[in-house]
Chain A
Amino acid sequence: MTYHTLLFLLTAVFAGAAVMAGDLLIGAIMLALVSVGTSLILFDFFAPWAAVFELSVCAGLITVLFVGAVSLVRGSADADARSRVKFMVLPLATIMAAIVLWFTLPSFFETLASGARIASGNNNPIGITLWDIRRADVLGQTAILAAGVFVIKSIFPRRNKAQ
Chain B
Amino acid sequence: MINSFALDWYFIAIILFIGLYCMLVSRSLLRQLIGLEIMSKAALLAVISSGVLTNNLSLAQTVIITMIVIEVVVVATGLALLAKNFRVNKSVDIWDLKGLKG
The reply, when asked whether chain A contacts chain B directly with Cβ atoms under 8 A, is yes
- Interface set of A (CB-CB < 8 Å, partner B): 1, 4-5, 8-9, 11-12, 15-16, 18-19, 24, 27-28, 31, 34-35, 38, 41-42, 45-47, 49-50, 53-54, 57-58, 61-62, 65-66, 68-70, 72-73, 76, 78-80, 86-87, 90, 93-94, 97-98, 101-102, 105-107, 109-110, 112-113, 116-119, 121-126, 128-130, 133-134, 137, 140-141, 144-145, 147-148, 151-152, 155-156
> What's the Cα separation between A90 and B20 when bound, in Å?
11
User: Of the candidates B17, B22, B28, which one forms a contact with A78 in the assembled complex, judged by CB atoms under 8 Å apart?
Assistant: B28
Residues on B with C-beta less than 8 A from A46 are: 52, 57
User: Of the candidates B55, B82, B92, which one forms a contact with A119 in the assembled complex, judged by CB atoms under 8 Å apart?
Assistant: B55
User: Of the candidates A72, A113, A118, which one forms a contact with B6 in the assembled complex, judged by CB atoms under 8 Å apart?
Assistant: A113
Task: Tell me whether B31 and A19 are in contact (CB under 8 A).
Answer: yes
CB closest chain-B residue, reference A7? B11
Least distance between B86 CB and chain A CB atoms (Å): 6
Residues on B with C-beta less than 8 A from A144 are: 69-70, 73
Q: A79-B27, A151-B77, A156-B80 are in contact. List 18 more A-B contacts (CB 8 A).
A: A8-B12, A11-B11, A15-B41, A19-B18, A24-B30, A31-B37, A42-B64, A50-B48, A54-B64, A62-B72, A66-B33, A70-B30, A110-B3, A110-B6, A116-B50, A140-B66, A148-B72, A148-B76
Tell me whether A34 and B41 are in contact in the complex, defined as CB-CB below 8 angstroms, given that A69-B30, A109-B5 are known contacts: yes
Task: Tell me whether A106 and B10 are in contact (CB under 8 A).
Answer: yes
Residues on B with C-beta less than 8 A from A42 are: 48, 64
18 residue pairs A–B, Cβ–Cβ below 8 Å:
A8-B45, A15-B41, A45-B48, A53-B68, A62-B72, A65-B75, A73-B82, A76-B86, A78-B28, A80-B26, A113-B6, A117-B54, A126-B58, A129-B62, A137-B66, A141-B66, A141-B69, A148-B76
Residues on B with C-beta less than 8 A from A18 are: 34, 38
Tell me whether A50 and B61 are in contact in the complex, defined as CB-CB below 8 angstroms, given that A58-B68, A145-B73, A152-B76 are known contacts: yes
Residues on A with C-beta less than 8 A from B93 are: 79
- Interface set of B (CB-CB < 8 Å, partner A): 2-15, 17-19, 21-22, 25-28, 30-31, 33-35, 37-38, 41, 44-45, 48-66, 68-73, 75-77, 79-84, 86, 90-93, 95
